[in-house]
Structure 1
Amino acid sequence: MLIYVVFLMIFVGVTAALYQVYEIHYNINVGNDKKLSKADKSHLQALSDQAKTATQAHARSDFDQAAADALGPNLDRDIALKAFAEEEKGVYAIPLLRRKARLRFNGDSCVNKSSANKSSTNISSVKVRHLPFWKTTLPRINIRAALITLVILNCFWVQLLAAMSVYTLGYPVSTPWLAWLNDPMAVMLMIYAFIVTSLLISTFDRYMHDLYQLGKLFKKKAV
């Protein structure tokens, strides 16, 4: 009976691995706001609407106030307007809302200096607080392609292992260092190790790509 449960879990693992490839593809092509809080989703819609009004009617006061409420009273309003005026919300707006708590400007959290010094904000002056003891500048290199490749490779290995779990029922592997392929339980554990690895890679990809997009945003503002 246990062997049937193991093969069922292997099948579930293959499905999960294929879904991970789909999910990372979705994250690339769609402005994914599922990791935003309800409050930030509300801010996203409100700021996007007000940014359009601000750029079309030159009415900045409402947008500036909404940006101050959502992102902090000292945030550079030009940066906020640039982010939320984009048609694609996933380009700058969603990353800004999702990572705003980690941004540091000259030692201050999620803010710039006073409005008189807003022009001094640039990509090199912005820090990211990854951990309490670890801060870096915003990334300048996009590593998304490499991370996506790793997820796809993991999916390939999952499918290969699943196929081997069936193949070895009739044709056991005789090579000593591959003998574990004859044990469906060991194969299942390896499959789920790849799935967990892909999950960590996908999370890291979303995090780093958000920071990379914010780097592009501040670089454009500085130009």
Structure 2
Amino acid sequence: MLIYIVFLIIFVGVTGALYQVYETHYNINVGNDKKLSNANKSRLKELSAKAITATQTNASSAFDHAVSNALGPEFDRGVALTAFTQAEEGSYAIPLLRRKAQLRFNGDNDAVTVRHLPFWQTQLPRINSRAVLVALVIVNCFLVQLLGAMSIYTLNYPVSLPWLAWLNEPLVVMLLIYALLFISFMIAKLDRYMHDLYQLGALFRHEAVGEPEFNQ
């Protein structure tokens, strides 16, 4: 009976790995704003509307007040206007609202740093790590599928190589599958975090909007 439960759990893990790839794709292309809190969603809507009004009427007082409330009185209004007037909110506005509490300003947009932990602070990244991290999620998914297939294959054809003998143990395979699922989950979270910081680095460096390096 136990072996059937193990195989059921393996099947769930294999399905979960496929879902992780789908979820990663969804979060990148569709669901980025769903990772915002309700308060930040309200701020996003308000700031975007007031930024557009400010650019159309040259009356920026309402926008400046909203920026001061949402991002702090010291925040550069020009940077905020750039962030909240982009057609694609995920480019700058969403990362800015999501990570604003971790940003540290030194009076110069090129010197903005990010506080990862109380004892760890770095410059905003200049290299986009998204392709590598997403590839790792896909590779992990492939490994999970392979392990799931091997758990069935070895029932009739046990692996004879000593260094691969663990493949004959469904419980060991199950544990490895869920270890890979956890790693993929953490990689996906790291990807969202690092991509937010990369986008913010581009924003504060005033690099041209719409260049290939900013593609989601």
Question: What does 1:97-176 align with in structure 2 at a 5 Å threshold?
Answer: 97-106=97-106, 113=107, 121-123=108-110, 125-176=111-162
Name the SS for the 1:70 alignment partner: helix
Identity of paired residues, percent? 69
Q: Runs in 1 of length 4+ with deviation above 6 angstroms?
A: none
Task: Name the TM-score, length of structure 1 as normaliser.
Answer: 0.90
Give unpaired runs (5+ residues) of structure 2: 209-216
Task: Name the TM-score, length of structure 2 as normaliser.
Answer: 0.92
Structure 1 counterpart of 2:195: 209
CA contact (8 A) 1:71 1:100 kept: yes
Q: Deviations over 1:3-41 (max 9, x none)?
A: 111111111111111111112212222361222221111
Distance, in Å, in 1 between the alignment partners of 2:6 and 2:28 is 33
Distance, in Å, in 2 between the alignment partners of 1:10 and 1:101 is 40
Q: Read off the aligned partner of 1:185 and give its amino acid letter.
A: L
Q: CA deviation at 1:148?
A: 0.8
Q: CA deviation at 1:147?
A: 0.7
Distance, in Å, in 2 between the alignment partners of 1:26 and 1:67 is 29
Distance, in Å, in 1 between the alignment partners of 2:145 and 2:206 is 43
Q: CA deviation at 1:161?
A: 0.3
Q: CA deviation at 1:158?
A: 0.2
CA contact (8 A) 1:31 1:90 kept: no
RMSD, aligned α-carbons = 1.6
CA contact (8 A) 1:31 1:88 kept: no
Name the SS for the 2:116 alignment partner: strand
Structure 1 counterpart of 2:63: 63
Give unpaired runs (5+ residues) of structure 1: 107-112, 114-120
